[in-house]
Amino acid sequence: MDRPYNNYYYREPEKNLKNKKIKKRKRFFLKVFLMILSLLIFFALIRSPVFKVQRVEISGNERVPFEEILRIADIEEGTTLWQVNNRVVKKRLERMPLIKLAQVSYVFPQALAIDVEEKEPLVLIPYRERYLEVSKDGTILGAVDEMGEDLPLITGIVIDEPFIGQKVHQEDIIYLEEILKTISTLPSQKLSFFSDFKVEDPLNLIVYTIGGTEIWLGTENYKEKLEEVPRVIMEIKQQKGEEPGYIDLRVSHFPSNP
pLDDT of residue 236: 86
- Residue-range domains of the chain with CATH: 49-118 (3.10.20.310), 123-257 (3.40.50.10960)
The model carries a pTM of: 0.75
pLDDT tens digits along 3-57 = 555 555 555 566 666 676 777 777 887 787 788 777 766 666 656 666 788 899 9
Q: How does pLDDT run across 97-151, given as a tens digit for each residue?
A: 999 999 999 998 889 999 999 999 999 999 999 999 999 999 999 999 998 768 8
Q: Kindly tell me the burial class for residue 114, based on how many C-beta atoms sit within 10 Å of its own C-beta (0-12, 13-18, 19 or more).
A: buried
Is 86's pLDDT higher than 60?
yes
Cross-strand pairs, 196:
153, 208
Of the candidates 50, 117, 66, the residue with the CA atom closest to the CA atom of residue 75: 66
120 phi and psi, to 5 degrees? -105, 145
Task: Encode pLDDT of 171-206 as tens digits.
Answer: 778 888 999 999 999 988 888 899 999 998 988 999
Helix orientation angle between 176-185 and 222-240, rounded to the nearest 10 degrees: 70
Residues 208-240: tens digit of each pLDDT: 998 899 999 998 889 999 988 888 888 888 888
Is the bond leading into 109 cis (omega within 30 degrees of zero)? yes
Which amino acid is residue 201, in one-letter code? D
